[in-house]
Chain A
């Protein structure tokens, strides 16, 4: 039996649209209706851009009927985290600070999506300025996890994770400075890729910490993620960090299998974060599955997680404070409590410690590169636990409980998280796969092999059965 329309993947929709068996206009209308019916539970969307989306869908449909093809995103709805500019629509960063911030132009990634024929369905919830959340004192409520509404989506691309898992859109864009694509992908049971630093342009996206910021796709399947990355990747001379590289062909190795692939399995990373037995067992299962498919798996260690955390957080907080210093002084009352207090902490960092963190970063990059020289990819836990209750996320604690995603922001290497099982409570568990700089295709290769060998993609959250009562019941 085929999936209902709202749970079809980008690849499935692309085939059906090209074959003219699904109308982009009807698809867009169906997803708008689904959001209207169910997003009161999940709060994934800040704004549904219905008129724009329907206009784009009509255009795509006309082109398809005229025999014009713009590729696999043609006529496919996607969502944008609300720090990414969409011309003529507000970019609020989920904050009172920017409640009337109307985008004058498209972000580079938005422009690429439009050129590929994608339909922009709307702007998605985020932690305030991609750093403060989950918060209940902002102009919009925080997104909730479609698997269990009382639970955290992860952040900061919270709405992107929720929207894809809930079947509001088959794909969304997120941003990742310390794990903000990979953590919500992990907690929401989807696929999220933080590409290599420099692969995807950040022009037209609000910065959090410029030397750590990345933009990437969040999707239900690995194949879809590669299809999005194919569209998003590319040099942008107007982003100083953008890499002038050949096409990385992220989709090229999807069906290559993992026979002979050299995999470094890093259980110590999860152990250092005191990952639960469920998480560690699930990640060990991924390593075993890949070995069973013919990969050569060897246990390996990386520098201590605490070093990555100290280094990365000093840089993140310092660079974020540089962005927000004028507003935190002039109008702190327009921030939510969590971001305001985190920015106050950021203001405590000495310049000398920021410099030391940059130096440590160079050492960590070199150390990881040396270890990686023996491997094609690394496999480790994505989070220490499944999604916690949304009310139990601490304001501080990043130094004592650093995210397992942070090492790959520090090094700039690409890293993906994907579902690798479910907890006893029915929440997704996730694995992280990291690769060499610009080695996205190899990560997708392994991820696709694992996805094809397991049945996790057959399970979806059942929002229709949920309701306001489910919040009280949990």
Chain B
């Protein structure tokens, strides 16, 4: 596992980092969506080996 599974996403800090400005309604909706995003992200954070590297994943015509 990576060590950031419980790390909260600092939404306002990220928006500021990107120079983005949003109103309070958008911020509230965005926080809800980010919660969903974080739940999805947690579900895919697992340890994987070299054998699971995605190189050539989409080179379907060579398989």
Minimum CB–CB distance for B52 against chain A, Å: 5
A395-B44 contact in complex given A243-B61, A245-B61, A359-B54, C-beta closer than 8 Å: no
Cross-chain contact B61 with A314 (CB below 8 angstroms): no
- Shortest Cβ distance from B15 into A: residue: A344
A71 on the B face (CB < 8 A): no
**Bound complex: CA A359 to CA B41 (Å):** 13
Cross-chain contact A348 with B9 (CB below 8 angstroms): yes
Q: Which of B9, B45, B52 contacts A362 (CB 8 A)?
A: B52
A2 on the B face (CB < 8 A): no
**Bound complex: CA A362 to CA B22 (Å):** 36
Cross-chain contact B18 with A314 (CB below 8 angstroms): no
A310-B44 contact in complex given A197-B60, A198-B61, A348-B37, C-beta closer than 8 Å: yes
Q: Which of B2, B32, B44, B61 contacts A437 (CB 8 A)?
A: B61
Cross-chain contact A359 with B29 (CB below 8 angstroms): no
Cross-chain contact B45 with A349 (CB below 8 angstroms): no
Cross-chain contact A345 with B30 (CB below 8 angstroms): yes
Q: Number of B interface residues, CB 8 Å?
A: 35
A332-B57 contact in complex given A350-B4, A352-B4, C-beta closer than 8 Å: no
Q: Which of A306, A332, A350 contacts B43 (CB 8 A)?
A: A306
Cross-chain contact A311 with B34 (CB below 8 angstroms): no
Specify which chain A residues have a CB less than 8 angstroms from the CB of B63 in the assembled complex.
369, 437
**Bound complex: CA A459 to CA B61 (Å):** 39
Cross-chain contact A329 with B19 (CB below 8 angstroms): yes
Considering only residues 1-51 of chain B, those with a C-beta below 8 Å from chain A are 2, 4, 9, 11, 14-15, 18-22, 26, 29-30, 32-34, 36-37, 39-41, 43-46, 48
Cross-chain contact A399 with B40 (CB below 8 angstroms): yes
**Bound complex: CA A134 to CA B53 (Å):** 37
A353-B39 contact in complex given A344-B30, A345-B33, A365-B57, C-beta closer than 8 Å: no
A314-B58 contact in complex given A396-B33, A400-B36, C-beta closer than 8 Å: no
A462 on the B face (CB < 8 A): no
Cross-chain contact A396 with B44 (CB below 8 angstroms): no
Cross-chain contact B60 with A344 (CB below 8 angstroms): no
Cross-chain contact B20 with A412 (CB below 8 angstroms): no
* Binary contact track A354-365/B, C-beta < 8 Å → 1, others 0: 001111111101
Specify which chain A residues have a CB less than 8 angstroms from the CB of B32 in the assembled complex.
396
A341-B58 contact in complex given A307-B43, A314-B41, A353-B45, C-beta closer than 8 Å: no
**Bound complex: CA A357 to CA B43 (Å):** 10
A69 on the B face (CB < 8 A): no
Specify which chain A residues have a CB less than 8 angstroms from the CB of B4 in the assembled complex.
350, 352
**Bound complex: CA A313 to CA B34 (Å):** 12
Specify which chain B residues have a CB less than 8 angstroms from the CB of A284 in the assembled complex.
none
Minimum CB–CB distance for B2 against chain A, Å: 6
**Bound complex: CA A412 to CA B57 (Å):** 9
Cross-chain contact B60 with A412 (CB below 8 angstroms): yes
**Bound complex: CA A366 to CA B60 (Å):** 11
A437-B60 contact in complex given A310-B41, A399-B40, C-beta closer than 8 Å: yes
Specify which chain A residues have a CB less than 8 angstroms from the CB of B33 in the assembled complex.
345, 396, 399
Cross-chain contact A347 with B18 (CB below 8 angstroms): yes
A396-B58 contact in complex given A310-B44, A356-B44, A356-B45, C-beta closer than 8 Å: no
Minimum CB–CB distance for B33 against chain A, Å: 4
A352-B2 contact in complex given A362-B53, A363-B52, C-beta closer than 8 Å: yes
A328 on the B face (CB < 8 A): yes
Minimum CB–CB distance for B12 against chain A, Å: 11
A211 on the B face (CB < 8 A): yes
A-B contact pairs, 27 of them (CB 8 A): A241-B58, A244-B61, A309-B40, A310-B40, A310-B43, A311-B44, A328-B18, A332-B21, A337-B26, A344-B15, A344-B20, A344-B22, A344-B26, A345-B34, A345-B37, A347-B14, A348-B34, A350-B4, A352-B45, A362-B52, A362-B53, A362-B54, A362-B57, A395-B29, A399-B36, A399-B39, A438-B60
Closest 3 CB pairs of A and B: A310-B40, A437-B60, A396-B33
- Residue numbers of A with Cβ under 8 A of B are 196-198, 211, 241, 243-245, 306-307, 309-311, 313-314, 325, 328-329, 332, 337, 341, 344-345, 347-350, 352-353, 356-363, 365, 369, 395-397, 399-400, 412, 437-438
- Residue numbers of B with Cβ under 8 A of A are 2, 4, 9, 11, 14-15, 18-22, 26, 29-30, 32-34, 36-37, 39-41, 43-46, 48, 52-54, 57-58, 60-61, 63
In addition to A310-B44, A353-B45, A412-B60, 8 A-B residue pairs with Cβ atoms within 8 Å of each other are: A211-B58, A314-B40, A341-B29, A349-B41, A352-B45, A356-B2, A359-B48, A396-B33
